[in-house]
A and B are shown apart, each in its own frame.
Chain A
Amino acid sequence: MPKIILEVNDLTTKYVTRFNEDVYAVDHVSLKVEEGRSLGIAGESGCGKSTLALSLMGYYFPPLHYTSGEILINGRSISGMDPDDVRKSVLGTEIAYIPQAAMNALNPTQKIIHFVEDVIKAHELYITKKDIYDRAKKLFETLGLPAEVLQKYPVELSGGMKQRTVIATSVLLLPKVLIADEPSSALDVTSQKMVIKMLRQAMENGLIDSMIFITHELPLLKNVTDDIMVMYAGQIVEKGTAEETVFDPLHPYAKGLMGSIIVPEKGLRNVKLTSIPGVPPNLKSPPAGCRFAERCNFVRPECTTNSVGLREVGGGRAYRCIIPEKELREAYAREANKNA
C-alpha cells in the first residue's frame, strides 16, 4: 500500500466580498496524492483551481477564509492552524508553492545566492554561508542548472532561467508536496519544456515526494502528471488517470473540454472542435442542482433540482453526474454518429 502524502477531506473555503457575500470557490473537495505521484488540476479561469492551491497551503488571508474540511500532510492536520505557525512549520518544509509569476519574487538588487540564503536561514538559524552555498550548488546541479547562476543578478537571467531558479530554490528544504500553479504559462515553449523537465527531475531525485500541477493547458497536463482532476465552479467534476481523463472523459464538461484541445498533430484540421455554450454560474448564488446543467447537452429535468454527488466508477475514477456511466456512453456515441 503506497504512502499517502497529501490527503484532503471535504475542504470548503470561501471568499467574503466587501458586501459580506460568501463565495464558495472551493466546495467540498477531497483528494489524495500518493508518494511519487503527481496530480494535475485542470479547469477554466474562475473554476477555483488557484483558490484550491492557496487553500491547500493552509495559509489564509482575507478575503479567503477557511470554512470546513481537513488537510493532512503525512497524517498531520494543518487545517485551522494559525497562519504564523503555518509559515514557520509548513510552508517550504512541508508544502512549497510556485505561482505563475514566481520569478517576480527575486530581488533585482541582490544576487540569487542571497535569495537562497534567505530561504534557508528562515528555517535553519545556525548555518554558515559556505554550507548554504554547497547545498544550493549541489541541488542546482542535480536539477540541471549551472552553479554560476547563484552568483548572478536576476537581470542577467532570462525569464525561463529565473523561473527555474525559483523552482529550484523552492525545493531546497525538501518539501513533501510541491504545488505548481501554472509555472510555465508565461514562458515560451522551449523554456516551458525545461521547466517541466526540471519538475520531473525533482520528483525522480526524491527532492519532492509528490506534486500538484495546476494548468488550463490539457496537452501539457497529459504529459506531466499521472492523474488528472477536472474542476468546474468550485467542485471536482471528474477524476482519473491522465490517459483516462484525456481520452475517455465521462463528465459532459470534461468531454467538452477534451474536445477543444488544439495540438499541431496530423489530422487536427479535420477535427471539429467542440465549444461549450454559455458561461459558468455565478458562485455568489450557485444553482441548486448540477452546476453544469445550464450548459449541458444531456440535461434532464431532475438535473436542476437534485444535488449531485461524485459517482465512483472503480479504479479511482469518479465523475459528478446523475446519468449512469452506461447511459452516458450511449449518449456520446449517438452524438458522435450525428456529427459524422
Chain B
Amino acid sequence: MPDKKLCLSGSGLTKVFGFGSQRTVAVDHVDFNFYESEIISIVGESGSGKSTLAKMLLGLISTSEGEIYFQGKKRDIRTQKKRQEYWKNIQAIFQDPFSSYNIFNKIDAVLLDCIRMRGGGKLPHEKKVELMTEACGFVNLKFAELTNKYPFELSGGQMQRLMIARIFLLKPKILLADEPTSMIDASSRATILDYLMKLRNETGMTTIFITHDIGLAYYVSDSVYIMEHGKFVESGSADSVILAPTQAYTQRLINDVPKIHEAWDLSTV
C-alpha cells in the first residue's frame, strides 16, 4: 500500500555462525518490509533462526551479509553513540525475564532509569511515583507492593509484566517482543496483548512479535512471516497465512497445534 511508510526493512540478511564443518547458516538471505504502526509476527519452531534475526534487528550481533534499513536509510550503528541513538528507537522484551534484570538494583531503579531516558530526571518525586504507578497498573501490577523490592523477589510472570511497563514508559518507535507472553498467565495475557495493540494505535509503534505460538500470531498481527531453517517460507496477511496456508510446513505447523472446536489429529506424527 502506498500510504504506508516503511519503518524497518532488510534485504538479503544473513547470519552465519562458525566456519568449516561447523558452519551454520542461522538466518539465510531473508527479505522483509515492516511498515509503520504494523504488528508483525515472525513464527517458527525452536532453532528456526527467529531469535538470531531478532538480535540482528536490535543490533546486538553483527550481520554476516545483507543490509537493514531503518526509516528508508541504511542503519548505521558503527559507533557506540550511534548505537545508543538507534536503541532509543527500538526496544525489546525478551523470552527470559530472569536474565533481563540487574539483581543488585531495586525495581524502582529499573523504572526510574526509563523516566530518566525519556528526559524526566528532574521531575519531582511524586510525579515520578505517579508515572511508575500508572505504568505498573497497565500491566496489572501494584506499584505499592513492588517498591523497595528486588527483581528476584518477583515471579517470572511479574518480571515480564514489569518489562512491559518499562516499554510503556519508554514509548519507542519499534518494539521487538521475543516470546513475550510465554511466561505470563492466560488470564492476564489478554490485558497485555490489548495494551500492546492500544499502544500501537496511540503512538504508531511498530511491534514485531517473535513467537512459536501460531494462535497468538494470528490473534495480534497484521502480517505474519513463517520461518523455517533460517528462511521465510511463507508471508502475508494473517488471514491468508493462517487460514489458507499454501506451504506444507505452514500446514503442518497449524495442524500440530491443539484446537478447541476442531478435532486434533494425533495420527499425523
List residues of A whose CB falls within 8 A of some B CB.
Answer: 44-46, 159, 188-190, 192-194, 196-197, 200, 216-220, 222-224, 246, 256-257, 260-266, 268-269, 273-279
B259 at the A interface (CB under 8 A): yes
Partner of B140, one of A194, A216, A260, A277: A277
Supply 18 A–B pairs (Cβ within 8 Å), ascending by A: A45-B157, A189-B253, A193-B268, A196-B266, A197-B266, A216-B186, A219-B258, A222-B258, A257-B186, A260-B186, A260-B190, A262-B189, A265-B215, A266-B243, A268-B219, A273-B193, A273-B194, A275-B187
Residue contact B157 to A275, C-beta cutoff 8 Å = no
Partner of A192, one of B141, B252, B256: B256
Also in contact, A268 and B215, with CB within 8 A (given A44-B185, A277-B140) = yes
Tell me the residues in window 45-87 of chain B with beta carbons closer than 8 Å to chain A beta carbons.
45-46
B175 at the A interface (CB under 8 A): no
- Which B residues touch A197, using CB under 8 A? 266, 269
- Which B residues touch A262, using CB under 8 A? 189, 213, 215-216, 218-219
Partner of A264, one of B155, B185, B214: B214
- Which B residues touch A274, using CB under 8 A? 190
Also in contact, A261 and B260, with CB within 8 A (given A193-B266, A269-B218) = yes
CA distance A220 to B266 in the complex (A): 12
CA distance A117 to B156 in the complex (A): 37
B142 at the A interface (CB under 8 A): yes
Q: Smallest distance from the beta carbon of B94 to chain A beta carbons, Å?
A: 17
CA distance A222 to B259 in the complex (A): 8
B3 at the A interface (CB under 8 A): no
- Which B residues touch A220, using CB under 8 A? 258
B32 at the A interface (CB under 8 A): no
Residue contact B260 to A193, C-beta cutoff 8 Å = no
Also in contact, A189 and B257, with CB within 8 A (given A45-B157, A216-B185, A264-B214) = yes
Residue of chain B at shortest CB distance from A220? B258
Also in contact, A265 and B258, with CB within 8 A (given A190-B252, A276-B188) = no
Residue contact A260 to B259, C-beta cutoff 8 Å = no
Also in contact, A194 and B269, with CB within 8 A (given A263-B258, A264-B254, A269-B219) = yes
- Which A residues touch B269, using CB under 8 A? 190, 193-194, 197
Q: Smallest distance from the beta carbon of B234 to chain A beta carbons, Å?
A: 14
- Per-position 1/0 for B237-254, Cβ under 8 A of A: 011001100000000111
B212 at the A interface (CB under 8 A): yes
Residue contact B212 to A189, C-beta cutoff 8 Å = yes
CA distance A262 to B191 in the complex (A): 13
CA distance A260 to B188 in the complex (A): 9
CA distance A275 to B187 in the complex (A): 5
Also in contact, A223 and B155, with CB within 8 A (given A189-B256, A263-B215, A263-B257) = no
Q: What 7 A-B pairs have minimum CB-CB distances, sorted nearest first?
A: A273-B190, A275-B190, A44-B185, A275-B191, A189-B256, A276-B187, A262-B215
Also in contact, A261 and B186, with CB within 8 A (given A190-B45, A246-B260) = yes
Q: Smallest distance from the beta carbon of B261 to chain A beta carbons, Å?
A: 6
Residue contact A190 to B260, C-beta cutoff 8 Å = no
Partner of A188, one of B141, B212, B218: B212
- Which B residues touch A265, using CB under 8 A? 215, 259-262
Residue contact B142 to A279, C-beta cutoff 8 Å = yes
Partner of B260, one of A216, A222, A277: A222
CA distance A264 to B141 in the complex (A): 29
CA distance A46 to B239 in the complex (A): 35
Residue contact B155 to A256, C-beta cutoff 8 Å = no
Also in contact, A275 and B215, with CB within 8 A (given A189-B253, A193-B266, A193-B269) = no
